[in-house]
Amino acid sequence: MNIISQNSNKNEKSSYYKKTFEEFISNSSLAGFVHLGAKHRLERYVWYLVHMFSLGGTLYLMIYTWNNFMKNPTVTTVEAIGSKNIERPMPGISICSLNKISRKKAEKYAQHLSTISGVPRDDIMKNISLLGYLYEYNIPPNPEQIIHFQNFLEKYDSTPNGYYNTTERLYQLQPTCEELLTECKWQGRFKNCSDLFVTELTMDGYCCVFNYVSQRSTVKISPVVIENNYKPIEFGTRSILKFTIQSNSSDTFFTTLATEAPVKRKCLFRDEVHTIFGSYSYSNCIMECKISSIVALCQCIPYNFVTVYENENNQYFQCTLADLTCLNSYSNKWMTLFPTDYEGNELEREKLDSIHCSHCVPSCSDDRYDVGQEQILVSFM
């Protein structure tokens, strides 16, 4: 009797769980669950298999995502909403004119060349516009014209070293910041634009730059006045503070992300790698990679990067009109960056038509600035 009663209790429990499960799947809003209670056995088996595969796939994705996160940890820092603007560095601002060659200066230059060469000024004026092709590596309709004019410039306007200084000449031909900017205002006060902006070489040529100093530039720093009895230490561009940090690895207990290898964190801090532009940034690394490709393929340095690259490799000359054909043939290549994380073989043609900068990784810390523009239409009655 006891055995029969125990079996009946088990049957009642299993029947209870079965009815509960059937009631659950029949009223469940989860996709596909209602089919688990189908009348036909084959249909139920099919839906059981579908759900088992779905559950297995979900578990696999969860484990894969977790392992991937552990291999490449992400550190997210949320700053306080009330952070002050004074804690943010003022960004460097570059204003570049669309007019790369001043007509007045071109006429003056043409007159100078006409005087020493005897060639009519109007003919020289037509050829001076060819120098503008060096900004975008384009080719004029008559390619032989650029070779002829380059030979003319090297004959009548060469440096004591015997070559034509493209960088210096384009600097003299471009509009000045005083001509480009007016009514400059800083901290609520009107300032002379020449006191705020300086002319610097950028990837877009000569531009008017505010709050930016090239790594290789020498700048005179104004004295600092503080309203107390403290007299600040005077320093100049040659003053360097040096000190040694004692590093004891055996005493290391808690470290920051900076001690992780760059290969693992896949980013670099500004002081970890030196570029020809100075401190590391992703854009500086890409630009250095592009310049290296130009030097390797055309054996010359673009005029707007001569000041930063010649100090490293003095054996290369700056690009002139004679190099325009080579620059134009690879211009599309230098505008395309091949993906560094691609390991397949299907993009062989794209690989040839792009530059490879696998050593360039994102910056670990960077500042982002949003720029707004306002335009006011003023009409005088």
pTM: 0.56
Instruction: Write out pLDDT tens, residues 322-352.
Output: 888 898 888 888 888 888 777 667 777 777 7
Task: Tell me what the pLDDT averaged over the chain comes to.
Answer: 73
pLDDT value at 24 more than 90: no
Ranked by mean pLDDT, which of 5-19, 227-241, 283-297 comes out on top?
283-297
Instruction: Write out pLDDT tens, residues 213-236.
Output: 655 555 454 454 444 443 443 434
Alpha-carbon distance of 32 to 53, in angstroms, equals 13
Q: Where are the alpha helices (DSSP H) in the chain?
A: 2-27, 41-71, 103-117, 121-128, 143-156, 166-173, 177-180, 193-196, 262-265, 282-298, 306-309, 324-329, 331-334, 348-352
Higher-scoring residue by pLDDT: 226, 79: 79
Low-confidence winner among 103-117, 323-337, 344-358, 360-374 (lowest mean pLDDT): 360-374
Count Cβ atoms within 10 A of the Cβ of residue 57 and give its class: 0-12 exposed, 13-18 middle, 19 or more buried.
Answer: exposed
Instruction: Write out pLDDT tens, residues 132-151.
Output: 888 878 888 888 888 899 99
Check residue 25 and give its pLDDT.
67
